[in-house]
Amino acid sequence: MPARQERLEKAQAELDAWKQDPITKQFRSALRRWQEILKEQWAAGLFSSLKIEETALANHKAISEYQILDQVLEMDAERIEGILQHDNQE
């Protein structure tokens, strides 16, 4: 098995174990609740304004926030490795 594949499998196993930690579970649950709050706020029209530009900007911000939370929640070891490699290059 190639070294990169072994490293990714080990990293994924560590990530899976980390996700089972009670504090991690609580943190991830809080992120999911944050997503639900954003959906509820959107449904309630809280990102609307009398000005189209303000509505578009508020909706864009809320959607971006939701997507970032989703990306964090769905990260796997390969994505994390890519982020860390990019960070080390700078």
Q: DSSP E strands: which ranges in the chain?
A: none
Q: Looking only at Cα atoms, what is the longest distance across the chain?
A: 60
Q: Which tokens sit at 90?
A: 């700078």
**What is the pTM (predicted TM-score) of this model?**
0.78
Residues in the chain with pLDDT values less than 50: none
Picking from 74, 73, 75, 81, the residue whose alpha carbon sits closest to that of residue 7 is: 81
Cβ(59)–Cβ(50) below 8 Å: no
State the pLDDT at residue 2: 85
State the pLDDT at residue 73: 95
The rounded distance, in Å, linking the Cα atoms of 40 and 43 is: 5
State the pLDDT at residue 35: 97
State the pLDDT at residue 56: 96
